Structure 1
């Protein structure tokens, strides 16, 4: 129990440092209501883990080289952590059964899921991403339903009132949700307000919801929350989650799917 608490606190500290760029020992004590010894221990642990750089009075964040930039066009990030995303796609595709209505939001990971679903038969894929629809256009065993709307430049996602009106009429068996960040405080998050809004409405139409993400998204918050951690059916990721996320999933009965 103590280890899970410390893991959650350290994840929150890391999120704070990423947001502000730095933290002092005194700020840490005030923000997280802990002792000076605990604060210094946590910063030492984060430093040894390569997540922050320790300074005399605290720590700074200079970015992780494996961390995807805040928001890039799909074409710029399609092959970023490709192997990890293909692992996730394989796990997701294995959950899909004949007769399922599968929802894929936009994103590079969900695009790889679309590729992994190509050989499935007698399933329906609902998506608001035109590139995912195009990827599945010649898959004979898959019926593709495209949610209408205005395409957002760079992401291929359809958004706006028309998209929202169509969402209200669909029923989804399994939803695979692409996210920009996974945070102990803010849950599953996204950079675009309109994309987050569509995703929220699709979540409400889905029986099962599976956020899909690689480990570069951990302890990272984008601007808009889609759903809190506890509202997911399960998470699909490329490696065993960090202790804070594993503990949160176990406490809230969210299943963890990974190859490791």
Structure 2
């Protein structure tokens, strides 16, 4: 079987990442002898194949994350959609109850925020800002809801739009309430995500938001993904499927972070 030049090149890139654990675009161009544009395209292809995790300016080998005992690698949206569904639907109802007519609501990507989008379809005269293509599609037939989609390059696993175009749009908008989907919640690392570029977009959206609510089910507790979005104290509140106990309850009380559940 003969391999194309691009296949052979990507194979070499993957071997370099495996050997080093992480790599930069500049290192790839020096080792492989290709252009930066080609190196970036190869990294994008390898990420879509599920073998690496893209970072700003480079990539990390998926196996390195497992060795560091971080949460399991990021799963595609389709694989996560029905996990903990009932819990996510309860969180969605609690989140929707916080939204009032005239609000400008931001939804980041994720399965929990997807269910929030579905719950918000009953509302009227609100604007929803999102960088997630699947959330925008879900809201396409919602009456009296204006949907603003932040442009950019789509990540296949999460359907989120990222990059300079997305960043330029965010600078021009104002948000009333933001619902932040996360991959992990811990006292030490706060609210965390797997993908660095998605973290960048989330942080810019947070800076434009009056209120920020982290949304997560109990399975995310005491887990830390690779990148911190914000520490616990910077959230206006948390929305989860049941009343927190232990360290999370204490931390929220001490740092004046509101707690919301469907039963409250």
The TM-score bracket by the shorter chain reads 0.7 to 0.9
Q: What's the secondary structure of 1:176's corresponding residue?
A: strand
Give the drift of 1:214.
0.2
1:129-168 superposed matches below 5 A: 129-168=132-171
The answer on 1:112 being equivalent to 2:115 is: yes
Deviation, 1:135, is 0.3
Partner of 1:71: 74
Deviations 1:62-102 (A, max 9, x none): xxxxxx84310000110000000000000000000000000
Residue 258 (str. 1) matches residue 261 (str. 2): yes
Tell me the SS of whatever aligns to 1:148. coil
Q: What is the DSSP-based 3-state SS (H/G/I as helix, E as strand, rest coil) of the residue aligned with 2:97? A: helix
The 4+ residue runs of structure 1 with deviation greater than 4 A are none
SS at match of 1:83: helix
Aligned to 2:20: none
From 215, 224, 227, the equivalent of 1:224 is: 227
What's the TM-score, normalizing by structure 1?
0.73
Asked whether the 8 Å contact 1:189–1:225 carries over to 2, the reply is yes
Q: Which moved more, 1:237-246 or 1:113-122?
A: 237-246
Residues 9-20 of structure 1: pairs in structure 2 closer than 5 A: none
Number of the residue aligned with 1:233: 236
The answer for unaligned runs of 5 or more in structure 1 is 1-67
Structure-1 residue corresponding to 2:176: 173
C-alpha distance in 2, partners of 1:224/1:168?
Answer: 22
Aligned counterparts, 1:178-189, within 5 A: 178-189=181-192
Corresponding residue for residue 26 of structure 1: none
Structure 2 gap ranges (5+): 1-70
CA deviation after TM superposition for structure 1 residue 174, in Å:
0.1
Distance 1:203 1:144 in 2: 18
Residue-pair matches, total: 195
CA distance in 1, matches of 2:120, 2:138: 10
